[in-house]
Structure 1
């Protein structure tokens, strides 16, 4: 693992893609739930930990979707099944600045089903 690795969840809630809307330096954008991979942590475990920290959802990895290099870091993406009602920053290690973010389940208009 390198210090720059990241893991993220592709998570559908009620058939809609779960994203976090953020505002940084006046720019508005959306990201998948995810974050840095800690030392001695598997990327899949990091993805599920970040999902819990950022949304309060417990997830289950369905499958690895992709690993891609982005600028200075490698990112791992996992298709994740989760249930419940997402709540922003509800996890055990809530980060600062979450008041400027919003969870949004429903970006886009197409519904998709998770499959094994």
Structure 2
């Protein structure tokens, strides 16, 4: 399978790091990550994207899940370790304006159910992870 998106589930105790998007009046959340560049391995893209978007240095753990739908073929890793000062960066920071906002947020597991988190399959798997 060829993946076009790599993302990382970063968990700190009972919270998960999400990217809160407010775009043209729509309010939703996504997992930090992004496009896998040509000749780049998914693992390399995941580490690069997390550094760009969050300023975190991460050590990848296992593959958390894979999502193949009409939007993308995504591979989601679980972060084994992370360090650094959390701050938005990369193209996301450059694209911020009144109609296009990005906010990094630690979301408590009890608040996940009420959020609009894409893709939905990943949201369900994160909730399952916290309940196991």
Q: Distance in 2 between matches of 1:14 and 1:104?
A: 14
Q: What residue number does 1:83 align with?
A: 83
Per-residue CA deviation, residues 40-66 of structure 1 (Å, 9 max, x unaligned), is 000111111110000000100111112
TM-score computed with the length of structure 1 as normaliser:
0.80
- 1:67, 1:75 within 8 Å by CA — same for their partners in 2? yes
Unaligned runs of 5+ in 1: none
Conserved? CA contact 2:54–2:86, under 8 Å: yes
Contact 2:88 2:104 (8 Å CA) reproduced: yes
- What TM-score does the superposition give when structure 2 sets the normalisation length? 0.71
Asked if the contact 2:14–2:108 (Cα under 8 Å) also holds between the matched residues in 1, the reply is no
The C-alpha deviation readout for 1:47-94, integer Å capped at 9, x for no partner, is 1111000000010011111222021421000001212331111xxxx2
**Counterpart-to-counterpart distance in 1, 2:25 and 2:7:** 24
Whole-angstrom CA distance in 2 between matches of 1:57 and 1:98:
20
CA positional deviation for 1:12:
1.4
SS at match of 1:109: helix
Partners of 1:79 and 1:28 lie apart in 2 by 25
Give 1:33-52 correspondences, 5 Å limit.
33-52=32-51
Q: How far is 1:15 from its partner? A: 4.2
- Determine which structure has the larger helix proportion and give its number: 2
Q: Conserved in 1, the CA contact under 8 Å of 2:21 and 2:102? A: yes
Q: CA RMSD in A?
A: 2.3
Bigger shift: 21-30 or 6-15?
6-15
Match of 1:55 in 2: 54
